[in-house]
Structure formats: structure tokens, C-alpha cells
Amino acid sequence: MPDSPDLSTLRSDLDAVDRKLVEALAERQRLVSDVAAVKAADGALPIQDPDREQSLLSRVHQLAEAAGVDGYFASQLYRQILRHSVRYQAVRQSGEAGLRVAYQGVEGCYSHSAARHHFAAVDGVGYLGTSTFGGAIEALKGGKADRALLPVENTTAGPISGVYDLLVEPGLHIVGEEVLKVEHCLLGLPGASLGHVERIGTHPQAIRQCSLFLDDFKHHGGHVDSEDDTAGAAKAVAEAGDPTRAAIAGEDAAEHYGLEILKRNVANRKDNFTRFLIVAAEPLAHDQRLPHKTSLVLSTEHGPGKLAAVLQVFAEAEVNLTKLESRPSPTTPFESLFYLDLEGGTHEDAVADAIEAAEAHTKSLRVLGSYPVFRAETPRAALGVAASGDGAAPRAKATAPPSVKPSRRTLGDRQGRPDTVVEIAGVRIGGDEPPVLIAGPCSVESRDQIFESARAVREAGGLMLRGGCFKPRTLPYDFQGLGFEGLAMMHEAGRQNGLPIVTEVVHPKDVEAIAREADVLQIGARNMQNFELLKEVGKSHAAVLLKRGMSSSIDEWLAAAEYVLAGGNERVILCERGIRTFETATRNTLDLSSVVVARERTHLPVIVDPSHAAGLRRWVPALAKAAIAAGAHGLIVEAHPDPDHALSDGPQSLTWDQLNELAREIGVAPAVAA
């Protein structure tokens, strides 16, 4: 047998392939540049063409699969390529080049990363870090920079109020926005370990966003230092060379300062985004074919309904507001300035007319900027940007927040309300949405098992990954789950495959920590009436999947949901999983009538777990299809890479082939290439 090539030979072969890949990207960019020229000559052509992108992505998916490359991986890469392509074309239309961009912080900080994303399509950009937000504005005003990029809001910590005060300075124009997914990581020296860290340094904003992790760290004797910026803290750790020190910063900072990620995702919320604004000293002409946003600042007289009158104008003109923020006026005590963001640009008549009409109800009104927004993969609702271009009509919204003390059983009752659609990282469950398949193993058993499961679930057409990390078992000797270690693996597996994750929480004290990594908190059948647990998940930002207790009536099940809703958490999904009857042939008796009744009595989504009802895998598909026929909004199904050797619930877990077939039968499997 010939010797296999050595590592250095393989690496030089890889180098050659990488060169070809980069050359192909350059060739693509040249063609995109020609496309931009065609579009410059014909103003009727859209810069972004969602239909073309869709067909291109599915072709790439098919080509990749045929070549033995994961189709999802290839299409994710292509999404990035297309995003860059749209920006590249926009820049070619505007003629921007050689910009100097000021941001607050040192290299590798989030503002620097956001700036690099935003200006990636511009040739010859230089970056200038300043020590304060005001310093970035000064650089702009003093002619040392052409743009300043400033963070204005974060989806966990809220508005960055000091920046709003800077935006109203005369002579500044908002010319763009950038949204960055912020993933706070704990960084330390290579070889350092989490257990030996004694001091953690980071920016006050990150301290707020990671308060749960840091409180726990302090509780165990650790010290937290407030630093000027996240990447600065990372730099200090690298320079100190002390393995007991760590910083909370982004992945870019780790790369920049040669640090290792000791723990990913230490923020309170898994989905953590920061919105940045790009400011210039002159207004810019933007390509009007791109979707726009407009930012205003205004003040009103004191008096009842003054602000409402302004808002009414936009409501009547059907101009959507994506932001309303108030700040004290820098000049007049006890007067407020209101910052508003609107969907649409001032070149659109509806927007321009509405602004003019609104002005009549204000004491002062100024347009801070009208600028293009690039569609990004962000939870658009969370950022106040309406989903666009996907053709999906907005469906029934979640119910109003419980602003009044709930009277007896009102929140969950239908009372003529439309169905609530619960949205979980882009997956919509409820109402008239197509049924959602949630699948995965009963328990997370190992890294390989959960990664293989995530991939198989995604390939089958599943939209969420299930997996237990904290297992309530009948016998104390049975496998109890891998706990937080398993959760971290599952989080990563879900992320890599674009699947939100569902996991059970069994103890009230774990709710916050689990919700940092999981998208949906499952309340198991045994805990359906654990009222302290229900109250705790009622306070959580994560969605809740509430299984019906094995001996609970529908009334008791709905009353349990009421606990969660009354706590302020409106994102409740009911799950029927079978009840105890005299029948012992199946593990539980699947009560499909509860789906019909619950759908009539509440506005909440109702899904079905056929696995725990059946107890045997060969019975699962029939029950699953019956559940959909009865009106279930989705299924949560157990499936395992090797069901016969599963550590829990093996007999009722489907194989991948069975899962694929079920997905096809209920019509959620991805379309197969012709």
C-alpha cells in the first residue's frame, strides 16, 4: 500500500486550493462589478434581487451536495458572499473609496469589527480607534476621519444613551447602520483554564450584558474590573501574561491578541445584537433602490397628547416606526428629545409627507439622516426592523403584555383573540404557520452524538433541535444527563446547524443559566404543576414549551400555562404528550382531543410529542400524522443516531431514515433536487 502523504505535503496542497478559491472570489467580484455597471445604467433594475438569490442559493446547495460537501454549509457561505456582493454594488454606485473611519476602542473591539463588516466592500479603508465616543465625533469634525461609527443600542442592555446626545450635534448626518451579533467570550492566555481565573476585566456594557455569569463568578470569590473597552481588556490580559486573568470580549479580540476562548457565550442572552450608526459630516446620496430607514429627533410642547399627535400622523400614513427613544434635552431642563426611526427614506413620498405633517405637531423636528439598510441575518423583530422581501404576510401577533393585574384566567383564554404565533430565532409556531418539526435525542450523550443529531435533524427538515441535559428520571440510578456541559455542546451543535434548541429545565435556580444557552425551556410532564418553576420561567426571556402532565386535565394544563403568562412571558407553547389511562399497550394514551380543545380554548400554539405517547418507534409516525391532522402546530419527536444503544428512551426514538420519512409524509422535508 502506498504511503499516505505527510502533513506538509497536504498543507501545500491545501494552500494551492485556497489560492484557487480566493482567485475564484476575485473573479466573481469582477463580474459583480460589471453587474453594478449594468445596474448603474438601468435604474429600473433592483440592486438586491431576492428571487435571483433564492435560486442561486438552492443551486449552490444542490451542487455542493452532489460534490459531497454539506449543502447547508455551502449555502451559509454563499449568503455571506451575496451580502458582500450587494454592498459591493452599492459602494460602486456611490463611488466611495479610501475612507478613514473613526470608532471608539482599540483594534479587535466590537466597534472595530462592526466597522470592518460595514466597510468591507469599500477599497482602501483606514481605521482610527479613539478613547471615547466623543473622540470619534471630534475626529470627524476635525477632518481626521470621513465617517464615525458609534453603537446606539444593544438588544440586552438597551440604548447607549450618551451616543444619542452626540448625534444631535449640528453638522452631523447619519448615513448608514450596521447590526453586529455580539458574542461575548471569556478570553484567557493559551493553556489557561476557567477554573483558575481570579480576575475578569471588561467594558461596563459587557458587565451588564454578562451580569449572570459575572455574579456567579464573584459569588465564588472572583474580581471583576471595569475597563475602557472589551478589546482593551483582552490586550491587557495578553500583555500581563498572567493565566489567572481573563477578559470578556469578542472572538476578533481573541484572534487579535493571541488569546484562547475559555468559554463562549457568557452573555445573559444568547441572541445579543448591537446596532451601530455611521455618521458623516455631509449627507450622502444613496441608491434609492435599496430599502431605507430615516432617523428623526423632535421635541413637543408639554401638554396632554402632544407626542401622541405626532405618532398618530405616522400611524395614519402607515409609516412604521422602528424606534422611539427619549433623552433629556441638553439645553432645556425637563424637556425631552424624542428619537424616532422610521421605515422608508425621505425620497419616498409617504415618508416625506408624513414627516412634514408631523412637524406641525412639534416644537422642533430634524431629520438626522435617511440611509440604506442591508438585510442581515438578525432577529429583525428584536431590532425593530420589519421582515421584508420574504413575501410572508404578518400573521397574528403575540397577545398584549399583561399591563394590568391579570384577573382569573384571562391571559391564556382565547376570548376572541387571534392565534398567537411564537417566534423563536426566526422559527414561527402557531396560527396558520406550517407545522414545525422539532427533533433530536432524548438526552445529550456526547459531543459526537449531538452534532450528528443536529445535522440529521436539519437535513430532515427539522427546524429545532431537542435534547435533554437535566433528566428527571423515574429511578435515581438512570442516566441523569450531562448538565451544563451537555448544554454547551448542544448550543454549539444548534448554532452550527442554524437550529434553535429546546431543553428541559427541572430546577428554578437553573432557569436563568439555561436560558442563556437554550432558546426554548421545556417544562416536563412531571413538573407541569411545579409552580415555583412555572413562576421562574414566567420571568424568563426564553420561550417555554409546557408539556401536559401525565395525569393532568386540560384545565390544569391551561392553568399551568397561566402561571407562565402571568409572570410576563407570553411565549408559551403547549405540548400534549399522552396521559395515563387504564390502557397499558402504549406508554401513554395520546389524547388528541386535547389538541382540538386547547386550540379552541386558547390562542397559544399547541404541539404534540408522539414519542412519549407511543413508547415504541414503529407507532410514532402514525400518531404524528394524526396529530397534524387534528390541528397540531408542530411535533416534537425523539430520534437518535443509534436508538438501540440510546441512554434513555431508545425504544421510542426514531432512526434517521424514519425521521426523514416522517418529515416527507408531513410535508416539511426539504425539496429534493430534480
Ligand X SMILES: O=C(O)C(=O)C[C@]1(C(=O)O)C=C[C@@H](O)C=C1
Window of 17-25, 80-88, 161-169, 525-533 that interacts with ligand X by CB under 6 A: 80-88
Q: Are the CB atoms for 298 and 355 separated by under 8 Å?
A: no
Q: Are the CB atoms for 418 and 603 separated by under 8 Å?
A: yes
Confirm or reject binding of residue 75 to ligand X (CB under 6 A): no
Task: Say how many C-beta atoms besides its own lie within 10 A of residue 495's C-beta.
Answer: 17
The catalytic residue among 156, 202, 274, 503 is 274
Instruction: Establish whether 484 is a catalytic residue.
Output: no
Which helix H or strand E contains 12, and what residues bound it?
helix 7-41
Which helix H or strand E contains 554, and what residues bound it?
helix 554-566
Provide the residue type at 352 as one letter.
A
Cα 654 to Cα 619: distance, rounded to the nearest angstrom = 10
Confirm or reject binding of residue 86 to ligand X (CB under 6 A): yes
Q: Are the CB atoms for 498 and 455 separated by under 8 Å?
A: no
Q: At what angle do helices 593-601 and 554-566 cross, to 10 degrees?
A: 40
Please select the residue that binds ligand X; options are 85, 111, 294, 453, rule is CB under 6 A: 85
Window of 78-86, 242-250, 275-283, 432-440 that interacts with ligand X by CB under 6 A: 78-86
Window of 83-91, 199-207, 414-422, 567-575 that interacts with ligand X by CB under 6 A: 83-91
C-alpha to C-alpha distances, 379 to 213, 425, 428, 607, 633, nearest whole angstrom:
23, 6, 12, 23, 22
Which helix H or strand E contains 545, and what residues bound it?
strand 543-547
Residue 340's beta-bridge partner residues?
Answer: 296, 324
Pairing of strands 245-249, 292-299: unpaired
Please select the residue that binds ligand X; options are 52, 218, 223, 363, rule is CB under 6 A: 52
Instruction: Establish whether 584 is a catalytic residue.
Output: no
Cα 272 to Cα 365: distance, rounded to the nearest angstrom = 32
Please select the residue that binds ligand X; options are 48, 569, 648, 653, rule is CB under 6 A: 48
Instruction: Compare residues 95 and 476 and give the one whose CB is closer to ligand X.
Output: 95
Confirm or reject binding of residue 56 to ligand X (CB under 6 A): yes
Instruction: Compare residues 93 and 346 and give the one whose CB is closer to ligand X.
Output: 93
Confirm or reject binding of residue 174 to ligand X (CB under 6 A): no
Window of 10-18, 44-52, 254-262, 461-469 that interacts with ligand X by CB under 6 A: 44-52
The interface with ligand X within residues 12-41 (CB under 6 A) comprises: 32, 35
Instruction: Compare residues 60 and 546 and give the one whose CB is closer to ligand X.
Output: 60
Instruction: Compare residues 49 and 65 and give the one whose CB is closer to ligand X.
Output: 49
Residue nearest to ligand X (CB): 85
Nearest to 120 by CA among 366, 376, 331: 376
The interface with ligand X within residues 513-542 (CB under 6 A) comprises: none
Please select the residue that binds ligand X; options are 29, 40, 49, 418, rule is CB under 6 A: 49
Cα 266 to Cα 186: distance, rounded to the nearest angstrom = 7
Instruction: Compare residues 12 and 55 and give the one whose CB is closer to ligand X.
Output: 55
- Least Å distance between CB 671 and ligand X? 21
Instruction: Compare residues 388 and 446 and give the one whose CB is closer to ligand X.
Output: 388
Confirm or reject binding of residue 437 to ligand X (CB under 6 A): no
Give me the sheet containing 199-202, strands edge to edge.
223-226, 199-202, 245-249, 185-188, 260-263
Binding site for ligand X (CB under 6 A): 32, 35, 48-49, 52-53, 56, 82, 85-86, 89
Query: What residues are labeled active site?
Result: 274, 276
